[in-house]
């Protein structure tokens, strides 16, 4: 016989479940049975999403939706003990000019005077109507702001003594001082994600963060923002002694000052450079300083454009002493830069070509034989430390095989060479046969992974 | 490769079955951790609220999470991509783990609550929440066999009071 076990769970566990649900569903449980009637009033996590509220209302009935949504939130806030509220999340994309923002301002005022810990706002509108207490809340640990392309402007002081995580998404910042003020006011900040860095309309960026462990600047979609494309910044300064993870996607700035320490574990560098900037010799220093700033890193990912940045560096590259893993995208430049990088990473153990050695679509005619794979000093990491090489999108080009041969002959520590074949290529190529002639010993460490794309 | 300390702890289920586990696995439970710290664990630790069937599932969960944590590179925290990748795999395992019948699921919730294993409690509660999300009231009642003990007038009153959620 089917029994109702869920209702016999202790109230606190049921409230746990309700806390996970979007608030609309939590309220709906009030109708399930008597036991459930008032449970929803005990939730400590609120999650309002206006896209969930419009089942019956017409999509085009804009004003009715706003009114309905506002009423819902007000009623809910009225039911709860606000003092117990831990987390407040609101997604409001159907906004009426002005009215929505004012309401949100009022709601926030009500919540902020208690012990709220997490606020996640996805709402169009400037924070001018938001209570200043949003930026001076003593208990706030997590703050996520998505203002749907409006300007973040905080006129007064920022003082969030408990804030650990700050996310800015689709937010425009025009005040150069603001970032500095935010960091000054958030001494415990551990994680800062700024996806919409492209919308930063200033020439300098300065981040000094004693507790920061994770930093994400940009979101890899720089090129897709056709609405507003900012030019290169004059300077980027980052002082973060405890930084563990660094993600950076933006146009190469004109100068860098980055101070990290051996805590830095991984860095993802995705730099965009205008083709005309290649002739600008001052960018050589910028690129070098950028690499210098992350030279402590253990795992480095360089996008195709990131490699272009390295190509710019005319002087010797900084030594990447701790680097054990290197993943690179596929650059249109020849692989000389790669050899230079390998030369600066004496302890490298893993090398991955995440987008292959050459762009898909190239043929043997397009790939010129490069001499430097034969001459010159072999990077020391190949002789002593490099254990694994992984190549995605292998096309079967002659030049690719030459490069592989180079690695196999010079890679004395090599244990595995993993090849992912690009099956999109029509012409069949007998890769195995070609590898066979490289000797039996090497056949043991070459591993084929055939991806069917 | 294995940890040098392989101290074993014996856990006794409500139906008197003994389970021998590595101490590090048992420590996933804050309740057991406190018992060990208080010196109550010299003999078998009795768990009168957990049956053998549920306890073996709980142990399976704890063991997997301990194993995964041990094989992560030392610096892979949730801040790093390597840490996240390991977490994704574990997440998939968790999703499969929690695909059990309702009875087993509720037993797991109660056990996770009693044994104070935060991640297991979150996982199981999420599973229940998924059973309520995006469903109508009738569907939820059916899924969980909840009897509607409201009188029609009472139900109407509650519905009216909270009608803003039903629009």
Say yes or no for a CB contact (<8 Å) between A299 and B134.
no
Start-to-end C-alpha separation, chain A: 49
> Do A244 and B75 lie within an 8 Å CB cutoff?
yes
The answer to whether A287 and A312 are in contact (CB under 8 A) is: yes
Distance of residue A80 Cα from the nearest chain B Cα, in angstroms: 13
Q: How many CB pairs under 8 A join A and B?
A: 116
**Confidence class for position A129, pLDDT limits 50, 70, 90:** low
Q: Do B145 and A4 touch (CB under 8 A)?
A: yes
Which residue did the predictor score with more confidence, A431 or A212? Answer: A212
Q: Looking at residue A223, what is its pLDDT?
A: 57
CA–CA gap between residue A70 and residue A75 (Å, rounded)? 9
Nearest-CA distance from B18 to chain A in Å? 27
Q: Taking residues A338-342, what's their average pLDDT?
A: 90
pLDDT of residue A453: 28
**Structure confidence at residue A15 (pLDDT):** 93
Of A61-75, A143-157, A428-442, the poorest mean pLDDT is in A428-442
Asked if B75 and A6 come within 8 Å (Cβ–Cβ), the reply is no
Check residue A351 and give its pLDDT: 94
Residue the block writes with tokens 């000019």: A97
- Band the pLDDT of A371: cuts 50, 70, 90: low
Give the least confident one: A118-122, A253-257, A439-443: A439-443
Please write the tens of the pLDDT for every residue from A243-267: 999 999 988 899 999 999 999 999 9
Q: How far is A3 from chain B (nearest CA, A)?
A: 6
Q: What stretches of A160-304 adopt beta strand conformation (E)? A: 165-172, 191-194, 204-208, 214-217, 235-239, 245-251, 256-259, 266-272, 299-302
- Kindly give the residue spans of alpha helices, DSSP state H, lying in A6-61: 11-20, 23-28
Greater model confidence, B31 or A61: B31
Q: Where do we find the tokens 């569907």? A: B139
DSSP state of A44: S
CA distances from A75 to A46, A57, A421 (A): 12, 19, 59
* Chain A environment of B113 (Cβ under 8 Å): 10, 13
Distance (Å, whole) CA B2 – CA B22: 12
Least confident of A22-26, A166-170, A323-327, B73-77: B73-77
Of B129, B134, B166, the CB nearest to A17: B129
What is the phi/psi pair of residue A352, to 5°?
-125, 130
Highest mean pLDDT among A120-124, A416-420, A421-425, B20-24: B20-24
Residue B123 confidence (pLDDT): 95
**pLDDT given for residue B116 in this prediction:** 95
Q: How far is CA A421 from the centre of its chain?
A: 28
Residue B118 has a CB neighbour count (10 Å cut-off) of 12
When pLDDT is averaged across residues A366-384 and rounded to a whole number, the result is: 78
Measure CB to CB from residue A266 to each of B81, B102, B128 and give the nearest one.
B81
Backbone φ and ψ of B19, nearest 5°: -125, 120
pTM, entire model:
0.87
Q: Are A329 and A294 in contact (CB under 8 A)?
A: no
Q: What are phi and psi of A252, to 5 degrees?
A: -60, 125
Task: Give the model confidence (pLDDT) of A8-60 as tens digits.
Answer: 889 999 999 999 999 989 998 988 888 888 899 999 999 998 777 655 555 56
Report the pLDDT value the prediction gives residue A367, as an integer from 0 to 100.
72
The residue among B21 and A102 whose pLDDT is bigger is B21
Pairwise CB contact (< 8 Å): B145 & A299: no
Q: What pLDDT shows up at residue B44? A: 85
Residues of chain B with pLDDT under 70: 1-5, 41, 73-86, 167
What is the overall mean pLDDT for chain A? 83
Give yes or no for residue A237 having a pLDDT over 90: yes
Residue A226: pLDDT over 50: no
The mean per-residue pLDDT over the stretch A143-153 comes to: 82
Judge whether residue A85 has pLDDT over 70. yes
3-state secondary structure of B72: coil
Residues in contact with A73: Cβ distance below 8 Å, sequence separation at least 6, in sequence order? A48, A90, A103, A107
Structure tokens belonging to residue A368:
């010129």
Q: Which residues in A135-162 are b (16+ Cβ under 10 Å) and which e?
A: bbbeebbbbbbbbeebbbebeeebebee
- pLDDT-derived band at A385 (thresholds 50, 70, 90) equals very high
Subunit contact A22:B137, Cβ cutoff 8 A: no
A273/chain B closest Cα distance in angstroms: 25
Task: Give the span between the Cα atoms of B89 and A256, in whole angstroms.
Answer: 37
Nearest CA in chain B to A2: B145
In chain B, which residues have their Cβ closer than 8 Å to the Cβ of A28?
A: 137, 140, 162, 165-166
Q: Identify the pLDDT of residue A435.
A: 59
Query: Of A10, A21, A71, which has the smallest distance from its Cβ to B164's Cβ?
Result: A71
Q: Please check whether residue A217 is in contact with residue A240, taking contact to mean a CB–CB distance below 8 angstroms.
A: no
Residues in chain B whose beta carbon is closer than 8 A to a beta carbon of chain A?
Answer: 75-77, 79-82, 102-103, 106, 109-110, 113, 121, 125-126, 128-129, 132-135, 137, 140-141, 144-150, 154-155, 158-159, 162, 164-167
Which pLDDT score is estimated for A128? 62
* Nearest CB to B147; choose among A33, A75, A298: A33
The nearest alpha carbon in chain B to A79 belongs to B162
Contact A198, A171 (CB under 8 A): no
- Give the pLDDT confidence score for residue A289 in this predicted structure: 94
pLDDT 10s digits, A277-296: 777 778 889 999 999 999 99
């Amino acid at each position: 016989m089917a029994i109702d076990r869920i209702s016999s769970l202790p109230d606190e566990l049921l409230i746990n479940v309700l806390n996970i649900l979007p608030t609309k569903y939590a309220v709906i449980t009030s109708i399930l049975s008597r036991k459930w009637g008032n449970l929803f009033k005990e939730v400590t996590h609120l999650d309002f999403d206006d896209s969930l509220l419009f089942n019956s209302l017409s999509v085009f009935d804009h004003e009715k939706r706003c009114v309905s949504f506002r009423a819902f939130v007000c009623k809910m806030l009225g039911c709860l003990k606000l003092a117990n509220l831990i987390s407040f999340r609101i997604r409001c994309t159907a906004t009426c000019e002005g009215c929505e923002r004012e309401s949100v301002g009022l709601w926030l005022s009500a919540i902020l005077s208690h012990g709220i810990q997490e606020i996640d706002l996805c709402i169009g509108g400037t924070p001018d109507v938001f209570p200043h207490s949003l930026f001076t809340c003593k208990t706030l640990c997590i703050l996520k702001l998505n203002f749907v392309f409006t300007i973040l402007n905080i006129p007064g002081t920022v003082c969030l003594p408990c804030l650990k995580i700050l996310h800015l998404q689709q937010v425009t910042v025009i005040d150069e001082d603001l970032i500095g003020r935010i960091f000054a006011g958030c001494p415990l900040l551990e994680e800062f994600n700024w996806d919409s860095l492209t919308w930063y309309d200033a020439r300098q960026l300065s981040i000094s963060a004693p507790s920061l462990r994770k930093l994400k600047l940009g979101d890899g979609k720089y090129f897709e923002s056709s609405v507003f494309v900012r030019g290169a910044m004059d300077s980027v300064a980052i002082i973060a002694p405890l930084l563990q993870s660094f993600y950076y996607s933006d146009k190469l700035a004109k100068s860098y000052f980055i101070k990290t320490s051996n805590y830095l574990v991984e860095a993802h560098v995705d730099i965009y450079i205008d083709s005309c900037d290649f002739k600008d010799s001052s960018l050589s220093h910028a690129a070098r300083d950028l690499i210098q700033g992350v030279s402590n890193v253990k795992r480095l990912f360089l996008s195709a454009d990131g490699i272009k940045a390295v190509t710019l560096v005319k002087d010797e590259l900084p030594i990447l002493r701790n680097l054990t893993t290197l993943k690179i995208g596929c650059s249109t430049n020849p692989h000389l830069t790669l050899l230079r990088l390998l030369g600066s990473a004496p302890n490298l153990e893993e090398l991955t070509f995440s987008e292959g050695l050459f762009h898909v679509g190239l043929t043997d005619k397009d790939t010129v034989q490069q001499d430097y794979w034969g001459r010159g000093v072999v990077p020391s990491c190949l002789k002593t430390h490099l254990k694994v090489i992984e190549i995605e999108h292998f096309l079967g080009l002659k030049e690719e095989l030459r490069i592989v041969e180079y690695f196999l002959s010079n890679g004395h520590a090599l244990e595995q060479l993993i090849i992912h074949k690009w099956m999109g290529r029509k012409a069949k190529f007998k890769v195995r046969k070609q590898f066979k002639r490289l000797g039996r010993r090497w056949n043991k460490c070459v591993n084929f992974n055939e991806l069917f794309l | 490769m294995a940890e040098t300390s392989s101290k074993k702890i014996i856990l006794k289920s409500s139906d008197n079955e003994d389970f021998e586990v590595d101490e590090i696995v048992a420590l996933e439970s804050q309740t057991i951790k406190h018992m060990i710290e208080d010196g109550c664990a010299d003999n078998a630790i009795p768990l009168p609220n957990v049956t053998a069937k549920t306890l073996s599932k709980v142990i399976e969960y704890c063991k997997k999470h301990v194993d995964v944590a041990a094989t992560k590179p030392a610096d892979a925290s949730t801040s790093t991509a390597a840490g996240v990748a390991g977490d994704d795999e574990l997440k998939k395992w968790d999703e499969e783990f929690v695909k059990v019948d309702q009875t087993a699921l509720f037993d797991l919730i109660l056990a996770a609550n009693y044994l104070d294993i935060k991640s297991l409690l979150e996982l199981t509660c999420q599973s229940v929440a998924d059973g309520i999300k995006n469903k109508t009231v009738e569907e939820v009642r059916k899924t969980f066999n909840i009897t509607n003990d409201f009188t029609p007038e009472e139900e109407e009153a509650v519905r009216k009071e909270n009608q803003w959620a039903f629009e």
